[in-house]
Amino acid sequence: MEPHAPSRTTDRNLKPSIQHLIVLTAIKAHKFADQVQDSTLSSMSTIRTSIEGHWKASEDGDIEAEHAIYAEDAILDYPQSGERFRGRATIAAQRGGHPAERHFTVRRISGEGKLWVSECIISYNNVPTHSVSIMEFNESLVVHETQYFADPFAAPVSRAALAEKIPSRTIEGELGA
């Protein structure tokens, strides 16, 4: 037997320990992936619940609960008017001073991680306006929100043969219905 050649006994002894190590590593990786997934799903569920609570509080006129979703130093942008509001207190103050009667119907909430989007119909004195709210989260609080507003308009007759009516979509427990 050559001095540098491994013996068959040594190879057989190493193989089970390498296989064992591979199996253990795979099991640990799988458990870690499950924990990360569970944590991510839990976090996503918590954020979705917070957003739903925000819109419900908005509908109910509960100013404190409506703005609990925002970080102390949150920013709210209205690109169409060019306005930026800094800080939870300022955001609440500008909304609290709105002269119109407001109602909110949430059409859809979607997102994951740090970015979530809500599609809503906000009625001001019974006049509907479509709104898209883009919320950026840090942990469980909104640090930046951008809201876009659009009034409904009649579809041109020239597209009638190409289009179909959008079915009504709402989330469970529709707000403002």
Which pTM was predicted?
0.69
Nearest-angstrom CA–CA distance, 171 and 52 = 9
Nearest-angstrom CA–CA distance, 88 and 70 = 6
Tokens coding 119: 């599609």
Q: Half-sphere exposure of 80 toward its Cβ, with a 13 Å CA cutoff?
A: 8
Mean model confidence pLDDT for the chain? 81
Q: pLDDT digit string (tens) for 26-40?
A: 666 555 555 544 444
CB 149 within 8 A of CB 134: no
Nearest-angstrom CA–CA distance, 158 and 29 = 57
| Domains of the chain as residue ranges with CATH | 34-159 (3.10.450.50)
CB 51 within 8 A of CB 116: yes
33 class by beta-carbon count within 10 Å (0-12 exposed, 13-18 middle, 19+ buried): exposed
Residue 174 has pLDDT above 80, yes or no: no
Name residue 27's beta-bridge partners: none
Which ranges constitute the DSSP H helices of 68-108?
88-96
Band of the pLDDT at 168, cuts 50, 70, 90? low
Provide the pLDDT for residue 95: 86
Q: pLDDT digit string (tens) for 35-87?
A: 544 444 456 789 999 999 999 999 998 999 999 999 999 999 999 999 999 99
Nearest-angstrom CA–CA distance, 121 and 123 = 6
Q: pLDDT digit string (tens) for 108-159?
A: 999 999 999 999 999 989 999 999 999 999 989 999 999 999 988 888 999 9
173: left (phi over 0), alpha (psi -120 to 50) or beta: left
Closest CA relative to residue 122, chosen from 110, 134, 105: 105
